[in-house]
């Protein structure tokens, strides 16, 4: 019903406005009976789908990527939509409005989105206050980025530090986002020297009562840049990497070039990112130590997509655009599809297939 009736109506409305309306609905405790009823009707348990990443157990591999619950207003009820883990943010040291609107665009022909949101959020301290007021029924992650006005040297490090310290008491893991294309200069922090400096500083802050720190990278990195990522992660003994963020590429789109040009700058997510993000995932699994866990992100719309990410090396996956296109039942449906694929192939538990195709 969502794809045939509700989605066509929603797609007539500005996507950012739709997001705000959904956020108000999902975050409101009055919606809990409806969400609970939906979960009761749709959900099924599949013990064979249990997994973990960075020592964090999950009932199944499919979580919510950062970008949906930017300000930590919905996290306490998102488990009712089936997610096995939820990542809030991206949060910055200081609150900021983000880039000028209009800044979120649909590409229905490609099952994609282009966004240039620019880390719009109310800041790390405000998010921490909301996190302190509610519990989360599934593992919760914090995704932190750089405030736009902060410089790229010591200012950036202090900005990340502020967010890290504010969120750390309230989350199970932290993600360092240096890969969004929508904050000027941010992706330069993926270069080896500044990345090593930033992650070393955060790791030092994390020595007492430490939580897993994961790095989120872009899909557009060259092979030599990815090799440097491997060196940094290995040297600092980071427990995990999230692959990947949105892409700047516009190759192979079905959407007309004129429409894409009219939309302008921004990161592309959704189905067009699947192959390149999976390629990065496989590259990392081939080269990183086995104790480094990977989360696959990019273009996941079905249980088959999850299956391919897991076989390429993902311990877990996260979705965003697939959730927008497939609606509130998508996680429950993907779980059933994934369980059926395991049964078809005679796989008793999902952990047995993690990375089995990474060396092909």
CA distance 26 to 36: 11
CA distances from 145 to 157, 189, 315, 360 (A): 10, 11, 24, 35
180 is catalytic: yes
CA distance 15 to 103: 9
> Helices then strands (H, E): number in the chain?
12, 13
Token pair 């405000």: residue: 126
CB contact at 8 A, 61 and 350: yes
Query: ∠ CA 188-87-314 to the nearest 5 degrees?
Result: 75
CB contact at 8 A, 104 and 167: no
Catalytic residue chosen out of the listed positions 84, 179, 180, 358: 180
The DSSP string of 226-282 is: HHHHHHHHHHHT-SEEEE---B---TT-SS-HHHHHHH-S-EEEEGGGHHHHHHHHH
Tell whether omega for the bond before 90 is within 30 degrees of 0, i.e. cis. yes
Count of positions (residues) in the chain: 360
CA distance 270 to 252: 13
Which residues participate in catalysis according to the annotation?
Answer: 180
């Amino acid at each position: 019903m969502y794809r045939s009736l509700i989605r066509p109506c929603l797609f007539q409305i500005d996507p950012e406005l739709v997001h705000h309306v959904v956020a108000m609905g999902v975050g409101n405790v009055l919606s809990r009976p409806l969400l609970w009823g939906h979960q009761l009707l749709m959900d099924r348990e599949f013990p064979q789908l249990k997994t973990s990443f960075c020592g964090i157990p999950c009932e199944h591999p499919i979580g919510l990527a950062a970008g949906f619950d930017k300000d930590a207003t919905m996290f306490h009820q998102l488990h009712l939509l089936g997610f096995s883990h939820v990542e809030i943010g991206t949060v910055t040291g200081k609150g900021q409005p983000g880039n000028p609107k209009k800044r979120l665009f649909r590409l229905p022909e490609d099952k994609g989105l282009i966004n240039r949101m620019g880390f719009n959020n109310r800041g790390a301290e405000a998010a921490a206050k909301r996190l302190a007021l509610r519990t989360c029924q599934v593992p919760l992650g914090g995704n932190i980025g750089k405030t736009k006005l902060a410089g790229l040297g010591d200012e950036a490090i202090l900005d990340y530090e502020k967010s890290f310290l504010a969120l750390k008491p309230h989350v199970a893991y932290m993600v360092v986002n240096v890969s969004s294309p929508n904050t000027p200069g941010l992706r330069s922090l993926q270069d080896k020297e500044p990345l090593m400096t930033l992650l070393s500083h955060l790791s030092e802050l994390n020595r007492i009562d430490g939580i897993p720190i994961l790095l989120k990278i872009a899909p557009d990195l060259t092979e030599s840049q990815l090799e440097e990522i491997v060196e940094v992660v290995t040297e600092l003994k980071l427990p995990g990497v999230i692959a990947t963020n949105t892409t700047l590429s516009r190759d192979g789109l079905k959407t007309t070039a004129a429409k894409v040009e009219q939309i302008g700058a921004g990161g592309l997510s959704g189905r067009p990112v699947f192959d390149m993000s999976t390629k990065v995932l496989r590259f990392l699994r081939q080269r990183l130590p086995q104790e480094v866990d990977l989360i696959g992100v990019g273009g996941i719309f079905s249980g088959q997509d999850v299956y391919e990410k897991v076989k390429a090396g993902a311990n877990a996956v996260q979705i965003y655009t697939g959730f927008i296109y497939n609606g509130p039942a998508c996680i429950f449906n993907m779980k059933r599809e994934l369980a059926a694929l395991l049964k078809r192939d005679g796989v008793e538990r999902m952990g047995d297939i993690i990375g089995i195709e990474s060396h092909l």
